[in-house]
Amino acid sequence: MRILVINPNTTRSMTDKAAEAARIVAGVGTEIIAATSQIGPASIEGHYDGALAVPGLLAEIRAGEQAGAQAAVIACFDDTGLDAARALAGIPVLGLCESALVTAGFLAQRFTVVTTLERSRVLLENLSRHYGFGGRVKVRAADIPVLELEDEASGALGKLRRQIELALDEDGAEAIVLGCAGMADLAFALQEEYGVPVIDGVSAAVKQAEALIAQRLTTSKRGSYAAPLAKVYSGAMAGFAP
């Protein structure tokens, strides 16, 4: 199996972190192909960053599929560009938020997503409702800019731990979901520390991608994810014309 893991921001170190988390859980014979967007913001924090990250993401998905990828994972917990990517690609495309919530739903009735900034908290609350988990999910923001997760001296890990402890004490959380791809390397240690399931979206998405490939399933092209209609795209978007 060949699974494309795409970081839709332009920070290569975050790509490397997501790729490592993917390779740790990938099955024997699964090849993880990591890609970093070449267009857009250094991190994705809210709607504006997310919108400007989509063209670069779509370019990487198109290239990866042409190179032989059998499924793609968008390594951003906002599920940036997920619907557009599913319409573009002929292979399954998975987002971290949807994959993590589905996985958590197998393990717990109530769970808390701990994310980075307040603007991301609101976005993820909306996604949780969209995916049908609104009544089971609490979302907390740890006040951590995404790129601070790369800096051990930033105090980010302490802030993350504090919100996990509040989730367990105040939310009645039975599991924790890490709400940022930049937290992917922390899941196993935090699970050991707190004694509850801690779900990383990268790992969850990779295992679900493997399951879809094994079942020879891909995105339906009837209806909402039908291939884009041929038309002229102008200006900087001309290269994205279907």
Residue 140 belongs to a domain with what CATH number?
3.40.50.12500
Q: Are residues 22 and 140 in the same domain?
A: no
Q: Are residues 193 and 172 in the same domain?
A: yes
Cα 37 to Cα 76: distance, rounded to the nearest angstrom = 12
Q: Are residues 86 and 106 in the same domain?
A: no
The sheet carrying 198-200 orders its strands as 137-141, 111-115, 175-178, 198-200
The first and second tokens of residue 188, run together, are 């196993």
Dihedral of CA atoms 170, 185, 109, 75 in degrees, nearest 10, equals: 120
Length of the chain: 242
CB atoms near residue 159 (< 10 Å): 17
- The answer to whether 184 and 205 have CB atoms below 8 angstroms apart is no
Give this prediction's pTM: 0.92
pLDDT in tens, the chain (242 residues): 999 999 999 999 999 999 999 999 999 999 999 999 999 999 998 899 999 999 999 999 999 999 999 999 999 999 999 999 999 999 999 999 999 999 999 999 999 999 988 888 999 999 999 999 988 999 999 888 777 776 676 788 889 999 999 999 999 999 999 998 888 889 999 999 999 999 999 999 999 999 999 999 999 999 999 999 999 999 988 989 98
Q: Are residues 109 and 83 in the same domain?
A: no
Q: Are residues 64 and 125 in the same domain?
A: no
Those residues whose C-beta lies under 8 Å from the C-beta of residue 224, and which sit 6 or more positions away, are: 83, 87
Collapsing DSSP to helix, strand or coil, 227 comes out as coil
Cα 5 to Cα 201: distance, rounded to the nearest angstrom = 12
Q: Are residues 105 and 66 in the same domain?
A: no
- The answer to whether 112 and 173 have CB atoms below 8 angstroms apart is yes
Cα 17 to Cα 58: distance, rounded to the nearest angstrom = 21
Collapsing DSSP to helix, strand or coil, 225 comes out as coil
Q: Are residues 87 and 117 in the same domain?
A: no
Q: Are residues 189 and 112 in the same domain?
A: yes
Q: Are residues 191 and 129 in the same domain?
A: yes
Q: Are residues 85 and 101 in the same domain?
A: no
Q: Are residues 110 and 191 in the same domain?
A: yes
Q: How many domains does the chain contain in total?
A: 2
Q: Are residues 89 and 106 in the same domain?
A: no
Cα 212 to Cα 20: distance, rounded to the nearest angstrom = 21
State which residues form the domain around 111: 97-201
